[in-house]
Structure 1
Amino acid sequence: MPQLVTSLLLAGLLVAPALAAKAQKAPAETEAVKQTVTAFFDGMRRGDSTLIRRTLAPGAVFHGIGGRPGQPPALQTENINGFLKAVATPHPQILDERITFEQILIDANLASVWAPYEFYIGSKFSHCGYDSFQLVKLADGWKIAHVIDTRRKEKCK
């Protein structure tokens, strides 16, 4: 039994530095991922398609899961250039998607963000749901490769 305890202690001493190094890196990477997603929504609020475009990876894809009441959900692919044009078109009211970073997972150059949101046009509530972002770390930092979201008007937080 003492040999088992000694082996476990030795294993713990060998693993601890690796875990400490990972723990030190994780907060910085998590913040960088958050900054990319935050910049995306700042660009949307400002109507700044250039700011949004800087957050996107080449070939990024946008999907939405929606549908009409009483019908099955449908997967909708959103045209990114159409989205950027719509955002950059002057609006009398701010398009404001308010998210909460519920979970961020990172492995090497891949990050996943799970975030509930509420969408407002000006101060008027429009809809809510969850955003799921997939980001990749490229030479110039974290970029959004895929966004998929749910959209509803009821059962919001």
Structure 2
Amino acid sequence: MPMTSRLLPLLLATGLLVRAAPAQPDDTTASSPEDAVRATIDALFDGMRAGDSSAVRVVFHADARLHTALGPSDTSAVTRTLLDAFVEAVGQPHEEVWDERIWDVEIRVDGPLASAWVPYVFYHGTERSHCGVNALQLVQQGNDWRIVQLTDTRRQGCDVPAEVRK
């Protein structure tokens, strides 16, 4: 019997065989629930910038929904993006970095539920594409926070702070 055949059960039994897991925010080191929620939000945008679909996928709840509210408030239309399609698009090779910059993030937490209001500006590489607000709902699963709902607006001409602009 080969050596690996004899060692495999032992390694499995002792927990020494470890599979790689996607990077995810370490919410256990956050000093507050708000910090843990912010770490999840930051991990989403870091993953987008890196084009890392695994890093993006892990911050979402399995049943997450993504929507965009389009148009002026009196004629708004809402479009839905499937989570799988979004994650796949992030991981597809693209010439320009998807750089979504955020500021003035407002987070509220009540037990296992969190809400975040996140102004943003989106750049394709160095070109400003659009801006708006992300409204996120997150739920706590164990020590981790997962996005269950992300609705964004998209428009031109937002007042973006100088330190956020490229």
TM-score class, shorter-chain normalisation, is 0.7 to 0.9
Please give the secondary structure, in 2, of the residue aligned with 1:93: coil
Higher radius of gyration, 1 or 2: 1
User: What are the Cα deviations for residues 82-116 of structure 1, in whole angstroms up to 9, with x where unaligned?
Assistant: 11111111111100100114311000000000011
Q: 1:31 aligns with which of 28, 35, 51?
A: 35
Residues in 1 aligned to 2:149 and 2:104: alpha-carbon distance in whole angstroms: 16
- How many residue pairs end up in the alignment? 130
Distance, in Å, in 2 between the alignment partners of 1:101 and 1:145 is 21
Q: In the alignment, which residue of structure 1 is the partner of 2:81?
A: 78
Question: Which sits farther off after the overlay, 109-118 or 132-141?
Answer: 132-141
What SS does the corresponding residue of 2:40 show, helix, strand or coil? Answer: helix
Structure 2 distance, partners of 1:56, 1:137, is 11
Partner of 1:122: 125
Partner of 2:141 in structure 1?
138
Q: Which runs of 4+ in 1 moved over 3 A?
A: none
Residue 140 of structure 1, CA deviation: 4.5
Q: Distance between the aligned counterparts of 1:80 and 1:110, measured in 2? A: 20
Counterpart residue number, 1:45:
49
TM-score in terms of structure 1 length: 0.77
Q: Which runs of 5+ in 1 are unaligned?
A: 1-25
2:99 is aligned, of 96, 99, 102, to: 96
One-letter code of the match for 2:75?
Answer: P
Partner Cα separation in structure 1 for residue 63 and residue 126 of structure 2: 33
Residue in 1 aligned with 2:111? 108
Q: Distance in 2 between matches of 1:86 and 1:156?
A: 28
Residues 47 and 87 in structure 1, CA contact (< 8 A), matched pair in contact too: yes
Q: CA RMSD in A?
A: 1.8
What percentage of residue pairs aligned between the two structures are identical?
A: 40
Give, in whole Å, the separation in 1 of the partners of 2:158 and 2:42.
24
Secondary structure class of the residue paired with 1:153:
coil
The aligned counterpart of 1:66 is 70
Counterparts of 2:100 and 2:109, CA distance in 1: 23
| Structure 1 match to 2:13 | none
